[in-house]
Amino acid sequence: MFGVLFLKECKQVLKSLVYYIYVVVFVLFITSQMGGGEYEKLQEPLPGQSNYGVIPTKDETQIMEGTLAGLVEDVYHNSFATYPVGFYKGVKLTDREKEQAEEILKRCTGKSFAELEEEMIQHFSQYDQSSVEGMTKAYANYTVSVKEGFTYEEFGEAMEEICRLVGKGSSYEKKKYENGVTVPMTYEQAREEYDALCTKDRLTRGYMRLFCDYAGIVLAILPIFIGVSRVLRDKRAKVSQVIFSKPASGALIVVSRYLANLVMVCIPVVVTAFLLQQPYYYKAQTLGIQGDFFAFLTVPGMWLLPEIMVVLALSFLLTEFSDSILAVFVQSAWGIGSLFAGVTLVGDFGLRLVARWNTLGKTSLFYALEKEFLRNRGYYFLLAVVCVMLTIVVYEIKRKKGGTVYGKIRKADR
C-alpha cells in the first residue's frame, strides 16, 4: 500500500508546475555557478612557481598584521563593508569617528595615520595594478606591523572599539578576523594540498563538495515551495475531508507524500551532480587518478540530503499546522540567515543549515573538520525525522477536529 501511494504521489509531483519551476531554477543556478573555472585551476604545483594561492593562518602576529592592513585600507577609503543581518551594508564614518579609528591604528602600530597611508601607497605602487595577478599579490603581501610589545589581547580590545564605530557584521569581529586572514602558500603546502585532493578526495569528491556548496544555497529555499504547495493542494482541491474519512493512517499519508517529494526534489540534484562530475572524472583519469565515480551520490547524499530533508519536513509541518504559506517566510528567513551567518565560505559548520565549502580542495582542512560536519548533518537529519513525526501528529489532530488544529470550524461546515 505504501509503495503504491508513494508512486502515485511521485506522479502528482510530476504534474505540478511548482516542481518544474524548481527544476529550472535549480539547474540554471548550479550551471551558472559551476562555470568550469575550477577545472582550469586544477594543475599540479611545481617548484619555483611565483604563486601557489593562499591559506588561512592561525598565527596571531600574522592575524594582527593582516587585519590591520585591511583596516588601514578601509580607513583610507573611509568605506567599511558590513553584513549586520546577512546583507551588505556600506558604512562611512563621520570625521570624528574616522579620527577615532586613526587613533586606534596609531595605538596598534605606533605610527600616525599619515605614515601608514604613505607606506600603503608605496607598497601598492610596487605591483602592476592593471592585472588581476598583480593586484592579488599586492593584497596578499600587504601587511601592517604592530608596535613592539603590543599584545594579541590589546589588539582584540582595539578591534572591539572599531566594531563599535562601524557596527555589527564587519570583518573586525573576532571570529571573522581569526578566520579571515590568509597568507601565501609555500610549495610544500601547495603540494600537500594537491596530493590530498588526488588521493583522499580522488578529485571527484572534492569537486562534489564544491557542487554541494552551491547547491546547498538554493536547496535551503527551493524545497520550501514544493512542500508548501503539496500540503496546500489538499485544501485548494477541497479533498481534505474525503481523505480524512479514509481508513489509511495519517502516518502512511504523510510519510508517503514526504518521501515522494523528497525523492523528486533529489532527482535533479543527483542528475546535475552526475553530469557536472563527468569532466572531473575523466580529468582524474588523465592525471593518473582513479576518480570516485560514485561521488555524485555519496557526497551530496551526506551534504545535501539532510538539508533537503529538514527544509521539506519543516515546510510540511508549518503548512499542515498553519494551513497557510507561513513556511515560505519563516524558512526563507532561516535559509538566508544561515547563508550569511558563516564566518568563512569554507568550513565553520556549527549548526548552520547551509554548510559552505566554496573551494575545490582544502582536503586536509575538510577532514580535520569532518566530525563537526557530521554532527551538523546528523542534527538536521534527526530534526527532519522529528518534523515528519510532528506533521503526522498535527495531521491526526486535524483529522479528529474537523480539519483544523485550532478548533475553529467554518460556520458553513456545521
Partner 1 sequence: MDISIEIQNLSKNYGKKKALSEVNLSIPQGMFGLLGPNGAGKTTLMKVLTTLLKKTDGEVTICGVPVEDSKRIRNMTGYLPQDFSMYGNMTAYEALDYLAVLSGMSKAERKRKVPEMLEKVNLLEKRKTKVRSMSGGMKRRLGIAQAIIHDPKIIIVDEPTAGLDPEERVRFRNLLCEIAKERIVLLSTHIVGDIEATCENIAVLDQGKIRFNGKVSELLSLVKDKVYSAEIAAVELDQVKETYMVTGILVTGSTANVKIIADEKPFPQAKPVQPDVEDAYMYLMHKK
Is residue 241 within the footprint of partner 1 (CB under 8 A)? Answer: yes
The residues with which 387 forms a beta bridge, in sequence order, are: none
* Rounded Cα gap, residues 213 and 203, in angstroms: 16
Write down the least CB distance from residue 287 to partner 1, Å: 49
At 387, the amino acid letter reads C
Residue 147 contacts partner 1 per CB under 8 A: no
- Binding residues for partner 1, total number by CB under 8 A: 31
Q: Which three cell numbers stand for residue 52?
A: 601557489
Q: Pick the closer one to partner 1 by CB: 11 or 375.
A: 11
Question: With binding defined as CB under 8 A, does residue 413 bind partner 1?
Answer: yes
Tell whether residue 132 is a contact of partner 1 (CB under 8 A). Answer: no
| DSSP code, position 84 | T
Nearer to partner 1, 249 or 322 (CB): 249
Does 242 bind partner 1 (CB under 8 A)? Our answer is yes
- Cα 5 to chain centroid distance, Å, stands at 35
Of 8-16, 98-106, 192-200, 378-386, the segment contacting partner 1 by CB under 8 A is 8-16
Strand segments, DSSP code E, in 158-222 are: 182-184
- Applying CB under 8 A, does 244 fall inside the site for partner 1? yes
Specify the residue, 79 or 241, whose C-beta has the smaller distance to partner 1.
241
3-class secondary-structure state, position 81: strand
* Span near partner 1 by CB under 8 A; candidates 7-15, 193-201, 294-302, 326-334: 7-15
Minimum distance from CB of 408 to partner 1 (Å)? 8
Query: What residues pair up with 357 in beta bridges, in sequence order?
Result: 346
Q: How many whole angstroms separate alpha carbon 201 and alpha carbon 211?
A: 14
Closest CB to partner 1 among residues 205, 257: 257
Within 8 A by CB and 6+ apart from 89, the residues are 82, 83, 167, 169
Site string for partner 1, 9-28 (x = CB under 8 A): ---x--x-------------
In the region spanning residues 194 to 233, those forming contacts with partner 1, defined by CB under 8 A, are: 233
Nearer to partner 1, 12 or 358 (CB): 12
Residue 406 in the binding site for partner 1 (CB under 8 A): no
* Of the residues 114, 245, 286, 288, which one makes contact with partner 1 according to CB under 8 A: 245
Rounded Cα distance, 304 and 384, in Å: 13
77 binds partner 1 (CB under 8 A): no
The three-class DSSP label of residue 12 is: helix
Alpha helix stretches (DSSP H) within 287-347: 295-303, 305-322, 326-341
Contacts of partner 1 in 360-399 (CB under 8 A): 399
Question: What's the residue count for the chain?
Answer: 414
Cell of 216: 546547498
Beta carbon nearer to partner 1, 256 or 391: 256
Given 337, 381, 403, 405, the residue binding partner 1 (CB under 8 A): 403
* Residue 5 found at the interface with partner 1 (CB under 8 A): yes
Which residues, 6 or more positions from 308, have their beta carbon under 8 angstroms from its beta carbon?
219, 223, 262, 265, 266, 269
Alpha carbon separation from 103 to 116, 154, 163, 200 (Å, rounded): 12, 14, 14, 49
Tell me the three cell numbers of residue 185: 602558500
Q: Does 255 bind partner 1 (CB under 8 A)?
A: no
Assess contact for 142 and 84: CB atoms under 8 A.
no
**Beta carbon nearer to partner 1, 106 or 233:** 233
323 binding partner 1? (CB under 8 A): no
Facing residues of 88 across strands? none
Q: What gap in Å lies between CA 270 and CA 298, rounded to an integer?
A: 10
* Residue 93 C-beta-side C-alpha neighbours within 13 Å: 23
Contact call for residue 58 and partner 1 (CB under 8 A) = no
Binding span for partner 1 by CB under 8 A among 48-56, 220-228, 240-248, 275-283: 240-248
Q: Which of 149, 238, 286, 288 binds partner 1 (CB under 8 A)?
A: 238
Kindly tell me which of 77 and 414 has the beta carbon lying closer to partner 1: 414
Q: Are strands 54-56 and 89-91 parallel, antiparallel or unpaired?
A: unpaired
Rounded Cα gap, residues 101 and 107, in angstroms = 10
The one among 130, 247, 286, 288 contacting partner 1 by CB under 8 A? 247
Nearest approach in angstroms of CB 289 to partner 1 is 48
Cβ-based nearer residue to partner 1, 1 or 132: 1
Q: Which residues bind partner 1 (CB under 8 A)?
A: 1, 4-5, 8, 12, 15, 233, 237-239, 241-249, 253, 399-403, 407-409, 411, 413-414
